[in-house]
Structure 1
Amino acid sequence: MKLSTTDIANINLLGEFCGPRDIKSLTQTELKQQFGIKQADVYVLFGGSILSGVDILAQAIQNHIAKKYLIVGGYGHTTATLQQTVITKYPDIPAKQMQEAEIFAALLKKRFNLQPDLLETKSTNCGNNITYLLALLKENKINFTSIILSQDATMQRRMSACLRKYVGTDVKVINYATYQTDLIQHQDDLEFMPPVIDMWCPERYLTLLMGEIPRLTDDEHGYGPLGKRFISHIEIPQDILRAYKDLHDKYPDINRPSNSKYSF
């Protein structure tokens, strides 16, 4: 697949918007500087991430960035890809019989000899990722006024907006997407810079990004208060809307429609 310089710039604009990081690094120093706290009450990794999301979780635990660590994820639209990747790289992990959270927990143990405090294994989409997470925290009497969310960069902003629907403004919701990278054109190939281990193929990444903007748009078709009411309102800048429109007009078939199998 060969894209123009303008196409690449538009894709990277969407990527930067969808995958925010509110702190530069998962360190107590950075957390103190940006949010005035030394530790968050809760850190959550969501199973929709690429495999290297486990590296981010390990970093969070090693840096004592939070008091409690959770992995959330049952079986959703990215699970089959995750399972196949794990089977190929770690054949001793029975990924085919495991939910997303269980897979990441197994990887965390195998690669870093670490373990999370809790797993949520029943959710299938961003909506019940959050509602089941909140139920699990309540069940275990874990109160929080600060929480760090790490999701695949394509879905990070939506995950944060979904949580915002359920918590008050007194709660610090801190984004830390599991990767930040740009798409580049290298001769006839699309590549990521900096490289990300186990990254989506460029075509899959583009499909995920293009599926996000309609979901984030607060109109009758989107997920916001004016639409399906799955997430809180998100203000989308004009340059992001223009970038999406230019790409959609040029590549109308690249999108990710909702799958009722994993619906709210």
Structure 2
Amino acid sequence: MNPHSSEASADINSLAEFLADSELSDLSSVSPVDCIIVCASQVLYGAEKIFETLQSRPHTTKYLVLCGGIGHSTNLLYDSVRSHPRYSTLSDTLHGLPEARVLEHILDAFFDRARITAEGCQILVEDRSTNCGQNAMFSRQILEQAGVVAPTTCIINQDPTMMLRTKASFEKAYQALSSPVSFLSYPGFVPAVQVRQGELIYTSPAATTGLWTPERFLELLLGEVPRLRDDKDGYGPHGRNFISHVDILRSVEMAWSRLSVMFKDHKLR
């Protein structure tokens, strides 16, 4: 298959849709949940939509957890803030802070925190985690310290390319509870692309700022599937046991195989 073809676009979009695991596309009418957890990433769109929703509907959740320490991709979040049409004014102030604190500063500067908390929504900050597993474990600790030992429903937001694995990490962290927690994925949007003359073009209408470079987007997509596999090399119960079991569609595995071969010797611009 030619890496510049429409088939390449279809396979990329197939992987992106699977990994985004979008169970909620709109929060404006979602039923209230016990907690919403925002796992910070370079893509700010999902967090923005959650903040906007809580401004207009503070009763949507009892607890908002902003999650993320300083890790290998934190500089990408700083870059997103620096290039953002609204948030760039905060860039110098935020550089060097944990990811969750970056989100908190954005919330305080550009959204109505007082309105959100006035109706009972508590905002918690988890600023030590450096990976998906720690996102889940440390968020659970923060919630338990606030008195939330066994939530019933929880919305998770993460970079769309890591959404499915993140939800599986939370399922793993809470698996010992007698009553299972219902985790709902909210990636904010599902990335979609076209490949034109070797150039990857985003066609997702929602997010337009802070998106991945083409090389990083493909790296993230192709790197996720091996992690999600429940085999000796994956993160599932039969491997490293970092996440709950994930069923990977055969069509997704086939798309991953084609793209892995296709982009081994070709680069997108």
Q: TM-score, normalised by structure 1?
A: 0.86
**Cα offset for 1:108?**
1.6
SS of match in other structure, 1:155: helix
Cα drift, residue 187 of structure 1: 4.8
**In 2, Cα distance between equivalents of 1:227 and 1:177:** 26
Question: Which letter maps to 2:73?
Answer: T
The alignment partner of 1:154 has SS state of helix
CA drift at 1:179:
2.1
1:39 and 1:240 map into 2 onto residues whose CA distance is 33
1:134 match: 140
Looking at structure 1, the residues matched to 4 and 49 of structure 2 have their Cα atoms a distance apart, in angstroms, of: 31
Higher relative contact order, structure no. (Cα contacts within 8 Å, ≥ 6 residues apart): 2
Q: Following superposition, which runs of at least 4 residues in structure 1 exceed 4 angstroms of deviation?
A: none
Which structure 2 residues correspond to residues 161-180 of structure 1 after superposition, within 5 A? Answer: 161-167=168-174, 168=177, 170-180=180-190
User: 2:264 matched to which residue of 1?
Assistant: 252
Find 1:60's aligned residue among 22, 43, 53.
53
Query: 1:48 aligned to 2:41?
Result: yes
SS of match in other structure, 2:95: helix
The answer on whether the counterparts of 1:61 and 1:69 sit within 8 Å (CA) in structure 2 is no
CA contact (8 A) 1:49 1:151 kept: no
**1:240 alignment partner in structure 2:** 252
Q: Matched residues in 2 for 1:49 and 1:82: separation?
A: 4
Aligned to 1:117, the other structure's residue is in SS state strand
Q: Please, which runs of 5 or more residues in structure 1 have no aligned partner?
A: 32-37, 255-264
Indicate conservation of the 8 Å contact 1:18/1:157, yes or no.
yes
Cα distance in 2 for residues equivalent to 1:76 and 1:216: 21
**Structure-2 residue corresponding to 1:217:** 229
What stretches of structure 2 of length at least 5 have no aligned partner? Answer: 117-121
Partner Cα distance (2:169, 2:74) in 1: 20
Pair 1:83-2:78 in alignment: yes
2-structure distance, mates of 1:15, 1:27: 24
In 1, Cα distance between equivalents of 2:220 and 2:41: 11
**Aligned equivalents of 1:73 and 1:39: distance in 2?**
24
Other-structure match for 2:119? none
Please state whether the residue corresponding to 2:248 is helix, strand or coil.
Answer: coil
- Say if 2:97 is the partner of 1:98: yes
How big is the shift at 1:95?
A: 2.1
Residue of 146, 149, 157 corresponding to 2:153:
146
Cα distance in 2, alignment partners of residues 173 and 47 from structure 1? 17
Percent identical pairs in the alignment equals 30
- Distance change in 2, residues 1:121/1:191 (3 Å): same
CA distance in 1, matches of 2:38, 2:256: 28
Q: Which whole-Å CA distance do the structure 1 matches of 2:155 and 2:191 have between them?
A: 20
Deviation string 1:78-116 (CA, Å, 9 cap, x unpaired) is 211111232344243422221100111111222223377
Between stretches 222-231 and 183-192, larger displacement belongs to 183-192
Please list the CA deviations of residues 133-184 of structure 1 after superposition, one character each: whole Å capped at 9, or x if unmatched. 0011111112411100000000000011111112246311111113223111
Q: What's the TM-score, normalizing by structure 2?
A: 0.84
1: CA distance between counterparts of 2:83 and 2:181? Answer: 40
Are the counterparts in 2 of residues 60 and 66 from structure 1 also a CA contact under 8 Å? Answer: no
Task: Please state how far the C-alpha of 1:58 moved relative to its aligned partner.
Answer: 1.1
The answer as to whether partners of 1:22 and 1:174 remain within 8 angstroms in 2 is yes
